[in-house]
Structure 1
Amino acid sequence: MIKKTVYSLLFLVCVNLSFSQSIEDIINQVSNANLQLSVAELSGEQATLINGTSQTIVSRVQSNNDLTADYIEERLSALPNLTVAVQEFNTVGKNIIATQLGQTNPDNIYIVCAHYDSVTTFCADDNATGVSAVLEIARLLSNQCIDNTIVYALWDEEEIGLLGANYYAQQAADETNGNTRDNILGVINVDMIGYDGDAPGTEGDNEFDIDVRNIANSVGIKDDIITILNTYTFDLNVIVVNPGTTASDHSRFWNQNYSAILVGESWETNDQTPDYHTSNDRAEDIDFQYMTELTKLVAGYIATKAGLIAVDNTITQTASNLSSNDTSASYQWYNCDTNLAISGATNQTFVPTASGNYAVAVSNGSCTEQSICTAFSVLSTEEFSNIEVNVFPNPVISILKINNFTEKELKITVNDISGKIINTLMSKKEHIEINLEKESLGIYFVNIASKTKLSTFKIIKE
């Protein structure tokens, strides 16, 4: 059966029962689709929204990459619990630094970083891949309460002498004029993680390098990364390079006797992109599954070292309300469709008065975490008839089609089986299409609502 009854009734038996997140949860939530989109936007192969308008990043060369800096700053600034700063270190160079303070040990700092400048156009692998990985890790961890501080750093002017990272490392180590040396416990530099010599998406060796030297506790970081690799499930094979290369940003932290490593594709086995430092370095040559695995590995390490504080940011949903599963906190409910706090909605249980997507921010002392957005529909007594709305094909492979014969504006929301929002749109068009090509195989729910009617369709993606 395709068509369900009222959407709210679905959740009488399908309730969000997940709990506060574990390291494995963080690893599993790394999104291949997000990484593909970010690489396409950063390499200029796809337009994106920057400063409120659709623009294309046509260059990341250090003399002309202000638009890239704006892109990175905007995306980090949109995330919770981050303080974002632009660190100008010469007349044109600027690092983008986002800090997520630890609740228990704020002076204990872990840095995950990548350089965003390039030597020519496109340069998808070098280093749109690294930047995309850092942004994805920030997306996942910024919603978490953590013991130790994470710094998400995007360096400028790596390609002309590692200048951005060098400036930051020198400032961090400066003990003159009463300054205190920053307690940086680990630096993970992510530089070129998108090329594996096997055809993209096929089985292969999936080797990657960890470049390390016997400086401070750098070897200990390498050991911890390998422990993460062996503790959870990854399709990766590690090559340890010691002494590792000094030709990327991590080496500037070695110069200041900080612990640091480089994670990247395997130059040690000559399995690096053949289009290095050319405009032929394009997104179409990236093995995104391989890149996703490396992003998961780094995310697992950073989450482990940050120390996740056990706050329950999940929601239970019934036909009539949403309720936070944390019973001893303060609460603020949000409308995800407007990204605004809902005035007066500060109780553990929230009763929506209109259909939409909602989340709750749970605060426990100085620690605040926000739930995922959850779709909720107010009970409706009338559904669309088959001559008003129909959804096809089912099963669907890529393009889902919706016929709207109502001549009214419809709100369409697509959720996966867990309730996570996959797509949402408003449309008055008679024929509507939704691209599900990049979504995982499985069951999805398409919720279609007007001001007076509501129907939910169960769709299978093959």
Structure 2
Amino acid sequence: MQKIGYLLFFLVGVNLSFSQSIEDIINQVSNANLQLSVSELSGEQATIINGTSQTIVSRVQSNNDLAANYIEERLSALPNLSVSVQNFNTNGKNIIATQIGQTNPNDIYIVCAHYDSVTTFCADDNATGVSAVLEIARILSSQCLDNTIVYALWDEEEIGLLGANYYAQQAADETNGNTRDNILGVVNMDMIGYDGDAPGTVGDNEFDIDVRNIANSISIKDDLIAILNTYTFDLDVIVVNPGTSASDHSRFWNQGYSAVLVGESWETNDQTPDYHTSGDQKEDIDFHYMTELTKLVTAYMATKSGLIALDNTVTQTQTELIANSTSGTYQWFNCDTSAPISGETNQVFTPLATGNYAVEVNNGSCTEMSTCFNFSVLSTEDFLEWEVNVFPNPVTSILRIENLTKTEIRILIHDISGKLIETYNSQKELTEVSFNNINSGIYFVTITSETKSSTFKIVKE
């Protein structure tokens, strides 16, 4: 019998991370992320662009290359996205990130916002919309989807909706052998941060859905309201029909596509008082309200794009992290460095240092990343030889575990590749574990209590 020294990763009980339900997707929307993005896009806080600290002092269409670079870098850092810059005139450029659907790649949903402005700052118009699109991309890019999502940030909205108009015309073009893009829905987010109540307080939290009876636009409105009534949001909807044509969604209406505008309530005259002025700054934004609107559109996009049931969940025990997916390939990551951990490609991962860890699971066609788990690594004593005894070794049918500690122990059996085979909890003095259905080979039996841990190398004949 060989006993191997072990480290205890002291976390109470078992923790499960789920990222598959719409509810869980909604809960990933981060108010802090939205605040940071608005601060950086409005130039009220410096950010890292092209590897150096810079400030976005302008998003006016004639001088917004730095903002475009910022958006492109943020999207390019996300998994499962193909990012491109669409130049449509001398100065104008749309930033387009495409997440290809695994089942229906030609069925397209677009979530979009314009990033250009008329003057400095312009936090509400439209750093809020851009920040929401970036947050939605952050969350959904880690998921495998049935349908395609396009995350689009338009340029030159403020001088005639030029960026969206170019994209929509290109999508609808059927000349010279082109095929019309099958865009099933467009949700445009333009000015989603102002609510007349004091920021963060309970109030009306009204928002507008601007819609017209063009293509299936009414259905988008209906779906948004259904989601609003299915999950918990601190929002009240105002339907505006016929809705305004003074934003990018209308250029998709012009091409016969389904589209709506989601934003603060101009219909009730509850829009920012600093519209199109340099007074439009972060201090006027109600980030609770903005977060709720971002959650609503996130839920819509997750619902319509179709979450594929690739299991990216993880079981966390006192001693290890276990990917719950039983098929596919695995790569464990250090969340603190965003780097893959060399050699850690098994279903089970035992960290060697305190930190935050996640697993990337690939099923052959797409990849999903789990949420990050925090581990505190503490040295622990081995069991004394008289406290725990594992026999016989080699084993042919029944492995016996003698526990004289009078405390509950957890028993984990892994094969030589690190794959978890069986787990047991026991307070018995003698626990019998069947090896009858386990193939011949080398296995590791880990026994842990609240204060001690030992691993035993066992041979199954």
TM-score (norm 1): 0.79
Q: CA deviation at 1:380?
A: 2.3
Aligned to 1:265: 264
Moved more, 308-317 or 80-89: 308-317
Q: CA deviation at 1:8?
A: 4.8
Aligned to 1:180: 179
Q: CA deviation at 1:346?
A: 1.5
CA contact (8 A) 2:59 2:119 kept: yes
Equivalents in 2 of 1:341, 1:67: separation in Å?
Answer: 30
CA contact (8 A) 1:211 1:262 kept: yes
Aligned to 2:406: none
**Which amino acid letter does the alignment assign opposite residue 16 of structure 1?**
N
CA 1:283–1:276: 2 relative to 1, 3 Å: same
Equivalents in 2 of 1:319, 1:207: separation in Å?
Answer: 46
Equivalents in 2 of 1:7, 1:210: separation in Å?
Answer: 55
Q: Which secondary structure state, in structure 1, belongs to the residue aligned with residue 15 of structure 2? A: coil
Equivalents in 1 of 2:292, 2:148: separation in Å?
Answer: 24
CA contact (8 A) 1:314 1:371 kept: yes
Equivalents in 1 of 2:63, 2:8: separation in Å?
Answer: 51
Q: CA deviation at 1:7?
A: 10
Q: Which secondary structure state, in structure 1, belongs to the residue aligned with residue 308 of structure 2? A: coil
Q: CA deviation at 1:368?
A: 1.1
- Between structure 1 and structure 2, the one with the greater Rg is 2
Aligned to 2:278: 279
Aligned to 1:456: none
Residues 200-239 of structure 1: pairs in structure 2 closer than 5 A = 200-239=199-238
Aligned to 1:97: 96
Equivalents in 1 of 2:134, 2:371: separation in Å?
Answer: 18
Residue-by-residue CA offset, 1:175-221 (whole Å, 9 max, x unaligned):
11111000000000000001111111111111111000110000111
Residue-by-residue CA offset, 1:243-277 (whole Å, 9 max, x unaligned):
11110000000010000000000111111111100
CA 1:8–1:197: 2 relative to 1, 3 Å: farther
Aligned to 2:10: 10
Q: CA RMSD in A?
A: 1.6
**Which amino acid letter does the alignment assign opposite residue 37 of structure 1?**
L
Equivalents in 2 of 1:316, 1:219: separation in Å?
Answer: 42
CA 1:70–1:319: 2 relative to 1, 3 Å: same
Equivalents in 2 of 1:150, 1:132: separation in Å?
Answer: 17
Unaligned 5+ runs, structure 2:
1-5, 382-461
**Which amino acid letter does the alignment assign opposite residue 286 of structure 1?**
I
Q: Which secondary structure state, in structure 2, belongs to the residue aligned with residue 17 of structure 1? A: strand
Equivalents in 2 of 1:301, 1:34: separation in Å?
Answer: 20
Aligned to 1:162: 161
CA 1:8–1:195: 2 relative to 1, 3 Å: farther
**Which amino acid letter does the alignment assign opposite residue 361 of structure 2?**
V
Aligned to 1:193: 192
Equivalents in 1 of 2:306, 2:339: separation in Å?
Answer: 29
Count of residues in Structure 1 that have an aligned counterpart in Structure 2:
376
Aligned to 1:111: 110
Q: CA deviation at 1:309?
A: 0.8
Aligned to 2:438: none
**Which amino acid letter does the alignment assign opposite residue 10 of structure 2?**
L
TM-score (norm 2): 0.79
Equivalents in 2 of 1:359, 1:231: separation in Å?
Answer: 30
Aligned to 2:31: 32
Equivalents in 2 of 1:222, 1:166: separation in Å?
Answer: 22
**Which amino acid letter does the alignment assign opposite residue 314 of structure 1?**
T
**Which amino acid letter does the alignment assign opposite residue 10 of structure 1?**
F
Aligned to 1:397: none
Q: CA deviation at 1:367?
A: 2.0
Unaligned 5+ runs, structure 1:
1-5, 383-462
Q: Which secondary structure state, in structure 1, belongs to the residue aligned with residue 48 of structure 2? A: strand
Residues 9-408 of structure 1: pairs in structure 2 closer than 5 A = 9-11=9-11, 13-380=12-379
Q: Which secondary structure state, in structure 1, belongs to the residue aligned with residue 237 of structure 2? A: strand
**Which amino acid letter does the alignment assign opposite residue 115 of structure 2?**
Y
